[in-house]
Amino acid sequence: MLGPRVADPVASAVRALREAARHLDVDGLLPTVEETGVDRKGLPRPMRPAESRPRGVADALARARSAIELGAFVALYEDAAANLAAPGPLQGLPVAIKDNIDVAGQRVGNGTTGSAARVAPTDAVVWQRLTEAGGVLIGRTRMHELAWGVLTPGCRNPHDLARGTGGSSGGSAAAVAAGIVRLALGTDTGGSIRIPAALCGVAGLRPTAGAVPMQGVSPLAPSLDTVGPIARTAADCLLAHQVLSALPHSAPAGTAGLRVGRLASECTHRVAPAVQRALQATAARLSAAGVEVVDVELTRARLARPASYVIMMVEAATHWATPELLADDALTPETAALLRAGAGVLGTDYVLALRVAAQLRRDVDAMLRAQRLAALLLPSVPVTAAPPSADTVGIGARAEPVTAAYSRLTALASVTGHPALSVPVGADGDGLPVGAQLIGPRHSEADLCQLGSLIERPRWPRPAPPAHCEQ
């Protein structure tokens, strides 16, 4: 029997989708290859990365050892300093990767201790590309079990050790925020790059669906899964994305005259006051830089989270709900219950979720095109980081489950496949970071990162880490 923490969200998501189906013409509406794959035509022009030299690998390892209380890493590779870095744009750069990405010969834990772990036979494509560009792996970062959650148990926020990092890529975000590495890899299914990036005060990029190969990355929900960078700045995210995607690129034309739509919806109205103030200041910074900021509405945005939830439930269960895995007691009871619940979702409800996702994709495409928008602007997370033990967060007089609040605003790009960037844009009264999210047309990562560079206000824990360009 399912506990209420699992059964209630499943039933709620299904009810929301069934209700939506009464008012939407979604029959036959399913995503196409063109919408979710890689179109190499009309690609944007990335920014030129800032000229810098990476910190030494030995120094990064020393910092990781000295920050053990963060719980950011599940494995450190002490022999990394002896590895010769390939010449390239990342030559000698210390890199950390989430513990669901294959590196040949290494144990890939997937956030578990049992049979969900494996020894990787080959490198993931993303790691191949990073090593060819000169990156040097110093360690594997902590993650939520199977990447199925917006928390990272055992991982602490560098800004306040009594707060969580979010998840599921919490270890990667903590490692970057603490100044251990300049670049880490994460995965994002329902927000798992953008949520911890926002809560830890760093930049995180969810790429266009299909732009970065997923081979060698443990799946959760293949319809939604992406792999991308968490880095100190938007410019660093773009440099990493250029390496990971291996797509042609050139420099963007500039931001003056661009239009950005400040998204107003039922979801974006329920945010903490500090988040609202930071987003208002962000819009003002864009206007001061010559960007036209206009208010836009997307009434069906509220359906993104239930659609993503149902898709994730079914596809995760399809991959992970094996008798062997459920029987070996390696998974937490909550994750095992989620897998069983996902196996029980009706096929008709799964298809409905896919159709709602396709409708939302068309809605976003139509809005971007009709309004001539370079991006949508909205909060990444409606609150700042909560304590790890918190079950709910308060927004005004209303309490909302942490898991629902954290993923409420990231679900839109997850189901539509559009690229989304989170950058730090301020802080609350306790000094905890606030993140802003930019969602753009497919393959507009360069424009998003250029806009992100305009608005980002990085926040480093005290004492601030030394610049990564110093040797």
- Residues serving a catalytic function are 98, 168, 192
Per the structure block, which two tokens stand in for 361? 């994709």
Of 421, 381, 403, 398, the C-alpha closest to 238 is 421
Round to whole Å and give the CA distance between 228 and 246.
13
Q: Say if CB 220 and CB 94 are below 8 A apart.
A: no
Q: Which long-range contacts (CB under 8 A, 24 or more apart) does 391-394 make?
A: none
Alpha helices in 332-433 (DSSP H): 333-343, 347-370, 402-407, 411-416
Q: Let me know the angle formed at the C-alpha of 238 by 234 and 242, rounded to the nearest 5 degrees.
A: 170
CB-based contact 234:445 (threshold 8 Å): no
Helix (H) or strand (E) holding 239: helix 234-245
Residue found under tokens 């609040």: 405
What sign has the CA pseudo-torsion 452, 239, 63, 113? positive
The helix/strand/coil state of 75 is strand
Cβ atoms of 410 and 195 closer than 8 Å: yes
At 254, list the tokens: 């500039």
CA distance 152 to 388: 8
CB 256, CB 289: distance < 8 Å? yes
Tell me which residue of 268, 150, 194 sits closest to 424, measured CA to CA: 194
Distance, CA of 367 to CA of 374 (rounded, Å):
11
Q: Which residue has the tokens 């040097």?
A: 136
Query: Do you know the residue count of the chain?
Result: 471
Handedness of CA 135, 414, 337, 167 (dihedral sign): positive
Choose among 281, 262, 283, 265: nearest CA to 273.
Answer: 281
Extract the tokens encoding 343: 């196996």
Residue type, 155: C
**Bridge partner list, 436:** 379, 423
How far the first Cα of the chain sits from its last, in Å, is 56
